[in-house]
Amino acid sequence: MKINALILLLLLCPFSFKATVIPFELIEGKIILNVKIKNDQHNFLFDTGAFTIISSELKDQINAKKSNIIFEGTDANNAKSKMDVFTISNLKVSDLTIKNVNFSFADISWISSRACKKISGILGANTMKDKVWQINFKNKTLTVSDKTDNNLSSGSVIIPFTEGDFTSVPKIEVNIRGQMLNYVFDTGSGMGFSMNQQSYNKLKGRDFLTFEGLLAQSLNSISKGERQIDMMEVQFGDVNVGNQIIDSSLEGINLLGTKFMENYLVVIDFINKKIILNPNGNKPEYNSFGVSFVVSNDSLIIVNKLLIPQLSELKLSEKIIKINTLDVSKANDDVLCEVKKLLDEVKIITIENESHQKFTLEKKDILKLLN
């Protein structure tokens, strides 16, 4: 009877059998998890839109074998690069051991500065092959299995994907306002549906919001200029998922990021090449103070701003000396991390510039400005 009960349990719960549960942090829309290389623990970005990268700082500490392959990559800003490919015998993520991992070395220090945490690598899509990866944004866990997930809810959306050559990056088709577009399903992007400017100009309506300033940073490039935010009707196959957040991007490839994924229990099935989205009850939101900051020449400056009348007196590159009671007149990366923590914790801030003008800003769902 015990044996029969065990067999029944395994038949009813195929996904949980031999599954590994991996906790993660969500920092600015980025999934950060712990990876063991030899006996040392490192923070890695979980990125389905990338090839695996290990920080150049670890080059002398890793016994990696160089291959004859040269990886020619294109990042989110359409910048091209060539990198040597190495192989490491294994990476360990929680109780999951990934063997014979192809990767490249690169300088990824910019990720650490933005995450306010030392990031030593990018766990790319090439490490995810032949597994099923479930992303639970509410519990902040990844569940990895070698079994296909057959549990579907009434609102489940099934999306077939193709894999990029060598990288295994999942690529899907998305219907936005009747236009079929190719997208990368990218957990490394903190946006919603980012769309190249040419496609966006064809589809945009009369109502949209505009940010100006530093737009995005990726492995080999930085993009600057204006970015539009819109809500557009999105469809996967025959399933309409309603209005979703659309961000325009400069010369970039189309990326589907975590701002959309957070509204679902996401299953990426690399065995059967399909993505399953199970709604978790969340709705699209875009909470923002309308400005963002960066450190430049030991000063905290405004690097990105929403173009609305309420913020018209604030200027890009304007120096900020105080946010609430926090003195930021002399700024470095540590100060910027304090600022980010403050912005996460509060709904109202008062910023003071060099001229001692004060501005009170409220964190709001800026999508409501489109109504």
CATH architecture of 18-144: Beta Barrel (2.40)
With a cut of 70, list the residues of the chain below it in pLDDT: 1-17, 73-80, 149-151, 215-224, 251, 371
Tokens of 19: 């599954």
Q: Which residue from 294, 275, 283 is spatially nearest to 237, judged by alpha carbons?
A: 275
Fill in the amino acid letter for 13: C
Mind listing the pLDDT tens digit for each residue in 48-98?
A: 999 999 999 999 989 899 988 888 766 555 566 789 999 999 999 999 999
**How far is residue 10's CA from residue 219's CA, in Å, rounded to a whole number?**
43
Give the per-residue pLDDT at 216. 52
Please list the residues that pair with 40 across neighbouring strands: 37
Across the chain, what does the average pLDDT equal?
Answer: 89
Tokens of 192: 């919603």
- 194 SS3 class: strand
CATH 2.30.42.10 positions along the chain are: 287-365
**How far is residue 187's CA from residue 182's CA, in Å, rounded to a whole number?**
16
Give the per-residue pLDDT at 250. 73
Other residues' Cβ atoms within 10 Å of the Cβ of residue 317: 11
Which CATH number does 148-279 carry? Answer: 2.40.70.10
Mind listing the pLDDT tens digit for each residue in 14-24?
A: 334 479 999 99
Give the per-residue pLDDT at 5. 46
Tokens of 77: 């800003």
Give the per-residue pLDDT at 73. 65
Residue at token pair 């700082």: 57
Q: Which residue from 325, 317, 331 is spatially nearest to 349, judged by alpha carbons?
A: 325
Give the per-residue pLDDT at 314. 93
Give the per-residue pLDDT at 12. 41
- β-strand pairing of 193-196 with 20-23: unpaired
> Is the separation of the CB atoms in 161 and 185 below 8 Å?
yes
Give the per-residue pLDDT at 79. 62
**How far is residue 371's CA from residue 229's CA, in Å, rounded to a whole number?**
13
| pTM recorded for the entire structure | 0.89
Task: Provide the terminal-to-terminal Cα distance of the chain, rounded to the nearest Å.
Answer: 61
> Is the separation of the CB atoms in 189 and 230 below 8 Å?
no
Q: CA dist 152 to 158, 271, 275, 363, 367, Å?
A: 9, 17, 12, 36, 30
Alpha carbon 112 to chain centroid, angstroms: 14
Give the per-residue pLDDT at 274. 97
**How far is residue 170's CA from residue 190's CA, in Å, rounded to a whole number?**
17
CATH 2.40.70.10 positions along the chain are: 18-144, 148-279
Q: Is 153 left (phi over 0), alpha (psi -120 to 50) or beta?
A: beta
Q: Hey, which CATH number is domain 287-365, 3.20.20.140, 2.160.20.10, 1.10.260.40, 2.30.42.10? A: 2.30.42.10
Reported as half-sphere exposure (CB side, CA atoms, 13 A), residue 160 has a value of 3
**How far is residue 230's CA from residue 200's CA, in Å, rounded to a whole number?**
10
Q: Which residue from 244, 247, 254 is spatially nearest to 228, judged by alpha carbons?
A: 247
- 25 SS3 class: strand
